[in-house]
């Protein structure tokens, strides 16, 4: 994983989050606490603002510094969760390297596992994990099969779509939506939507020729 790719992705993710403001906000108003978009915008903006500062650094340091910055600047549940994601990715990248797609997939899996541990959540509870866990599993599988980065990117976009849609008929057991019980059924999860947007954005960079 290259520093240039991480930082280019951070700029693209911020633009994509802003572009999807209406979608994310409407989902959060339906079953959330209404601050998810604000936190996602703030976090993506902060990460993007570090571009020049982080450009000279190796990838694992870039990931760790983004995580530390998110921990200190994002409110709500999102800050600690995404901070854990980036810092765990950084740790595994430093230990094992992140030059191959399989190594990148391993770092991503470590980040997702950190979210699960920090949030005490798992797939099937109407959260961002309903997107992240299937994407992580698919990424690892396809990388192990030797698929190209472009093939993986196309597949992960579809996996993210399926994960997001799966939240529609789930009963939330985490966060504010958990108090709604069956009334949350029929609504997509805002955190899952944000993750779908971010995964699409990163995958599109790869499809357009960027080398992770």
Domain edges within the chain: 3-207
Minimal CA–CA distance to 46: which of 67, 25, 20?
67
Q: Which CATH superfamily is domain 3-207 in?
A: DhaL domain (1.25.40.340)
Region class of 170: left (phi > 0), else alpha (psi between -120 and 50), else beta:
beta
Taking the C-alpha atoms of residue 27 and residue 147, their distance in angstroms, rounded to an integer, is 34
Structure tokens at 160: 């993210």
The pLDDT value recorded for residue 174 is: 60
The pLDDT value recorded for residue 75 is: 67
pLDDT digits (tens, 9 = 90+) for 101-118: 999 999 999 999 999 999
Return the CA Rg of the chain.
16
Per-residue pLDDT of the chain (212 residues; tens, 9 = 90+): 999 999 999 999 999 999 999 999 888 777 566 678 888 999 999 999 999 999 999 999 999 999 999 998 886 678 899 999 999 999 999 999 989 999 999 999 999 999 999 989 999 988 999 999 999 999 999 999 999 999 999 999 999 999 999 999 887 766 555 555 565 677 788 899 999 999 999 999 999 998 88
Structure pTM? Answer: 0.93
Residue reference for tokens 């980036």: 86
Hey, CA dihedral for 199, 19, 77, 182, is it positive or negative? Answer: negative
The pLDDT value recorded for residue 78 is: 80
Are the CB atoms for 105 and 139 separated by under 8 Å? yes
Region class of 105: left (phi > 0), else alpha (psi between -120 and 50), else beta:
alpha
Taking the C-alpha atoms of residue 37 and residue 106, their distance in angstroms, rounded to an integer, is 28
Are the CB atoms for 39 and 79 separated by under 8 Å? yes
The pLDDT value recorded for residue 186 is: 74
Collapsed DSSP state (helix, strand, coil) of residue 136: helix
The pLDDT value recorded for residue 175 is: 58
Taking the C-alpha atoms of residue 98 and residue 3, their distance in angstroms, rounded to an integer, is 11
Are the CB atoms for 203 and 157 separated by under 8 Å? yes
Residue-wise burial string across 19-40, b where 16 or more C-beta atoms lie within 10 A, e elsewhere = ebeebbbebbebbbeebbbbbb
The pLDDT value recorded for residue 113 is: 98
């Amino acid at each position: 994983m290259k520093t240039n790719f991480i930082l280019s992705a951070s700029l693209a993710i911020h633009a994509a989050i802003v572009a999807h403001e209406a979608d994310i906000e409407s989902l959060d108003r339906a079953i959330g606490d209404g601050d998810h978009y604000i936190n996602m915008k703030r976090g993506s903006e902060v990460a993007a603002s570090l571009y020049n500062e982080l450009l000279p650094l190796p990838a694992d340091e870039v990931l760790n510094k983004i995580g530390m910055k998110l921990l200190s600047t994002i409110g709500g549940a999102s800050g600690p969760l995404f901070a854990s994601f980036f810092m765990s990715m950084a740790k595994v990248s430093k230990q094992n390297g992140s030059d191959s797609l399989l190594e990148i997939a391993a770092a991503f899996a470590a980040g997702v596992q950190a979210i699960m541990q920090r949030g005490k959540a798992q797939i099937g509870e109407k959260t961002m994990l309903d997107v992240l866990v299937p994407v992580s599993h698919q990424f690892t599988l396809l990388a192990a099969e030797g698929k190209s980065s472009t093939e993986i990117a196309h597949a992960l976009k579809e996996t993210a779509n399926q994960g997001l849609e799966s939240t529609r008929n789930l009963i939330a057991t985490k966060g504010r939506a958990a108090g709604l019980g069956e009334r949350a059924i029929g609504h997509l999860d805002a955190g899952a939507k944000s993750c779908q947007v971010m995964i699409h954005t990163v995958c599109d960079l790869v499809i357009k020729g960027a080398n992770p």
